Structure 1
Amino acid sequence: MPEPQHQGLPPELLTSPEWQRACQQRDFASVFRLVKAKAGIYPSRVAALCGMTPSRVGEIMSGRRGLAHIDVIERVADGLRIPGAMLGLAHRPWEIPPPAATVQPARRRSVQRAATADSEDCDGAEPRQELDELLTLADGRVTRSTLLALRSSVEDYWRRDDEHGGASMRPAVVGHLRYVTQMMDSVPGPLRRDLQLLAAELARLAGWAHFDARQYSTARSHFTQALRLAHGQDDHLFMANVLSCLSLQATYDGQPSDAVALACKAQDAARAAGVQPLVMSMLHMREAFAHATLRDASSCHGAIERSRDAYEEARGREGEAPSWVRYFDETKLIVDTGIALAKLGESERAEPLIAEGLRRETRAQQRGRAFHAFWLATAQLQQGRLEDACDSAVLALDLSAALDSPRVAGHVREFHRCLAPYARETPVIAFEQRLREAVG
């Protein structure tokens, strides 16, 4: 059975000339390549959404096969949420909003109630309303209590992100962001500034959720919005925070040189805000990740040392740091150092650090523990300890069972590819069986 439909393609993809040209020409090889590159929808997901086999999608992407049957083209339009007009089709059913409920004359309505035992009046008779319309039913007044409630929601989102991943939160977070930015226009004075800072945090959260979903282009748009909002309030520390997120995303997106530049710019922004050693410790570690991806061992070790030094300076002063950086504690410093060393291939030094971090982490940090278990498996595999590596990978699979995080799924695929030379070994066969059970 096909997977549920996704929510839609990023607006920046739909409006790009390259996309519009591909759709106009019904060049589905380019269409599938673009949804992979710009929306993070990989061929296997395209196949599930469009009712095709992965091999057929692969043949289309490679140009060995085309699409001509109108029913298949309609399936692609519906599965990927491509507006019908872009492909020369009629409007698709999902593009047309449902009609508003009409008010029936009293006599006719009473007869209908008698025939249906009030069921239709109770279920679904109200017109569907978009999130913005529902939110505007409030009286629109913004008070300190409003801000406290919204901040509490943001804190809850971050907690859920730690426990379950950020991908499933995207619609709710973006809805909250839209609501807050609308309120900003009608609120004067200090409350407007507080709302703008709250909007910046929601934009960063929206960027993070899309980053966790591997939708890098949309994530970058939200991070850019967060950066602009923070810049408008001259909040250099928060700008450093957003730049650090962009640096991490660039590392994942295969742009480590950009990641180094963004991490260094984040450090400059933090310095402009005054002495904040815990923030600087986190930012130096971001830089270390980027250098490790470039396999620049000297620069990576230097950044790790600067991160440790800044963390020592921050000891006893954690309460002075912004709330958004307090996650970066001693455990996080230890495990991130191990990951940077594993990226460099220094697995013997990396393994005990990652194992110690994993031992210390709480159950609430579910996604982090899943990541770190896979990094532990990677470090063990680098040392040729196949059975230990597969055991750690099984632990990671168990931890990721309750997660909605395509980033974690990406680590699963990457580790599985690394096992290819050992496909006939018993530990690998057992791991692959667990993997099939997990994805099945």
Structure 2
Amino acid sequence: MARSQAHRALPAELLASAEWQEACRGRDFARIFRLVKGKAGIYPSRIAALCGMTPSRVGEIMAGRRGLAHIDVIERVADGLGIPGAMLGLAHRPWEIPVPPRIGERLPEPRPVVSDEPQRIGSRGELDDLLALVDGRATRSTLTALRSSVQDYWRRDNAHGGATLRPAVVGHLRYVSRLLDSAEAGLRHDLQGIAAELARLSGWAYFDARQYSTARTYFTEALKLSHTQGDRLFMANVLSCMSLLATYDGNPNDAVALACRAQDAARAAGEQPLVMSMLHLREAFAHAILRDAQACHHAVDRSRVQYERSRGHEVEAPVWVHYFDETKLLVDTGIAYARLGESARAEPLIAEGLRRENADQRRGRAFHAFWLASAQLQLSKLDEACANAGLALDLTAAIDSPRVSGHVQELHRRMLPYAREAPVLAFEQRMRDALG
């Protein structure tokens, strides 16, 4: 990106100030732009030129009448004003990484470092990692760190929701994509696998934020990466995510087709009964939306059979499907029945699954509490429905998952016929207290 070098670095005292760091953490661009104007002397017209915006848009942002949410625009602001990526929850920006000198150029003589202790590089691996910071090369240690980050993202997604993870995950995906351009042959395959997982995670985060078109774009990218790798099992995993997305996006026929295609891909990869069990339940969800009771029950039965086969199976299941345990089988079966309208069968299954779940699985528990309340509302169990709706509401207030929040609001709309009943009035008061 060509831009004025005069604005490459903001004043160090501004970057170090508590007010600036708080504004960046909250992505409060009204305050950020005002601080840039007041502390760095960069006026709105210049901010607009540097960030590729119109002056009127910058003015609206500074006045608090407009915000910034799209990741591409936030990256443009970071690059235009020289805001380090980490301050805004982004990956390191390209201009933050030193560029190696061209042949014939000389590096300036290093200034001596005064230290009480001699600085030493302990191993060849550490030296490789330091050099990788300069020229963007991946090492084995890079792969280990990236895999650890992916695991941490999934843990945080389950505990806190995926919406707030989007900038960090997308930034990591782009960083890995840059590493792929210059990766050694021995590391390229592993990097492609990590990129596919980050693309799927990006799609999932946007799905949880109810931004379905963007989610579909990232899922498609994950599918292409796993196809390049020849990883049919991971292709099945991505297709299952796309099937679930289609059920939410009002395309149940597509959801059935995607779930069945995922099963074909998994079969081609070999014996993986746990994966097949999960995929049959995704198919059951889609049949339930279509109100095809016979197909839904057949898919649930096949899921249960495959789960029993997975116990003690010789071939270890991939890590990404380990979440699908007996509790998940139980609660997802209940959700399939609830989607089908068979609430009497759904209620005990979801209730038992919710009872078994760990307390730190807040997003999953909120989601399952919603489905339990939904089934109980269909059964006219108003007190129990409102109690579990309250549990879903309390959990939703502690996470950032617009998908689950939307379910709670949907449940509230379905309570309108009971609007004068005491349990519903109490629930509505909890909603006002929690959501404003």
Q: Provide TM-score, normalisation by structure 1.
A: 0.72
State the partner residue of 1:342: 338
> Following superposition of structure 1 onto structure 2, how do residues 29-48 of structure 1 map, counting pairs within 5 Å?
none
State the partner residue of 2:301: 305
Q: For structure 1, which runs of at least 5 residues remain unmatched after alignment?
A: 8-69, 84-93, 102-125
- SS of structure 2 residue aligned to 1:328: coil
Deviation sequence 1:349-372 (CA, Å, 0-9, x none): 100000000000001211100000
Deviation sequence 1:366-400 (CA, Å, 0-9, x none): 11000001111011000011111001111111222
**1:147/1:130 CA distance change after superposition, 3 Å:** closer
Once the 2 structures are TM-superposed, how far is the Cα of residue 317 of structure 1 from its aligned partner? 2.8
State the partner residue of 1:169: 165
- SS of structure 2 residue aligned to 1:327: coil
Does the aligned pair in 2 maintain the 1:256–1:294 contact within 8 Å? yes
**1:182/1:230 CA distance change after superposition, 3 Å:** same
Q: Does 1:279 align with 2:240?
A: no
Give the Cα separation in 2 of the matches to 1:415 and 1:80.
29
State the partner residue of 2:209: 213
- SS of structure 2 residue aligned to 1:79: coil
**1:317/1:428 CA distance change after superposition, 3 Å:** same
Pairing partner for 1:181 from 156, 174, 177: 177
**1:190/1:393 CA distance change after superposition, 3 Å:** same
State the partner residue of 1:269: 265
Once the 2 structures are TM-superposed, how far is the Cα of residue 141 of structure 1 from its aligned partner? 3.0
State the partner residue of 1:133: 94
- Report the residue type matching 1:388 in the other structure: E
State the partner residue of 1:294: 290
**1:427/1:317 CA distance change after superposition, 3 Å:** same
Give the Cα separation in 1 of the matches to 2:170 and 2:155.
17
Give the Cα separation in 1 of the matches to 2:166 and 2:180.
21
Once the 2 structures are TM-superposed, how far is the Cα of residue 172 of structure 1 from its aligned partner? 0.2
Give the Cα separation in 1 of the matches to 2:141 and 2:372.
45
**1:202/1:134 CA distance change after superposition, 3 Å:** farther
State the partner residue of 1:198: 194
State the partner residue of 1:432: 428
> Following superposition of structure 1 onto structure 2, how do residues 405-416 of structure 1 map, counting pairs within 5 Å?
405-416=401-412
Deviation sequence 1:268-295 (CA, Å, 0-9, x none): 1101101100000000000000000111
Does the aligned pair in 2 maintain the 1:5–1:79 contact within 8 Å? no
- Report the residue type matching 1:136 in the other structure: I
**1:228/1:99 CA distance change after superposition, 3 Å:** closer
Once the 2 structures are TM-superposed, how far is the Cα of residue 194 of structure 1 from its aligned partner? 0.3
Deviation sequence 1:3-39 (CA, Å, 0-9, x none): x8799xxxxxxxxxxxxxxxxxxxxxxxxxxxxxxxx
Deviation sequence 1:205-240 (CA, Å, 0-9, x none): 000000000011111110000000000011000000
Q: Does 1:222 align with 2:250?
A: no
Give the Cα separation in 1 of the matches to 2:320 and 2:394.
28
State the partner residue of 1:42: none
- Percent identity between matched residues is 66
Once the 2 structures are TM-superposed, how far is the Cα of residue 171 of structure 1 from its aligned partner? 0.2
Does the aligned pair in 1 maintain the 2:91–2:175 contact within 8 Å? no
Once the 2 structures are TM-superposed, how far is the Cα of residue 143 of structure 1 from its aligned partner? 1.6
Task: Name the Cα RMSD after superposition.
Answer: 2.8
Give the Cα separation in 1 of the matches to 2:314 and 2:259.
22
State the partner residue of 1:79: 66
Once the 2 structures are TM-superposed, how far is the Cα of residue 311 of structure 1 from its aligned partner? 0.3
**1:142/1:217 CA distance change after superposition, 3 Å:** same
**1:96/1:156 CA distance change after superposition, 3 Å:** closer
Give the Cα separation in 1 of the matches to 2:207 and 2:355.
27
- Report the residue type matching 1:371 in the other structure: F
- Report the residue type matching 2:364 in the other structure: G
State the partner residue of 2:313: 317
Does the aligned pair in 2 maintain the 1:207–1:219 contact within 8 Å? yes
Does the aligned pair in 2 maintain the 1:6–1:79 contact within 8 Å? no
Give the Cα separation in 2 of the matches to 1:417 and 1:318.
48
- SS of structure 1 residue aligned to 2:182: coil
Once the 2 structures are TM-superposed, how far is the Cα of residue 81 of structure 1 from its aligned partner? 5.1
Give the Cα separation in 1 of the matches to 2:336 and 2:91.
44
Once the 2 structures are TM-superposed, how far is the Cα of residue 190 of structure 1 from its aligned partner? 2.4
Q: For structure 2, which runs of at least 5 residues remain unmatched after alignment?
A: 1-25, 30-55, 71-75, 99-132
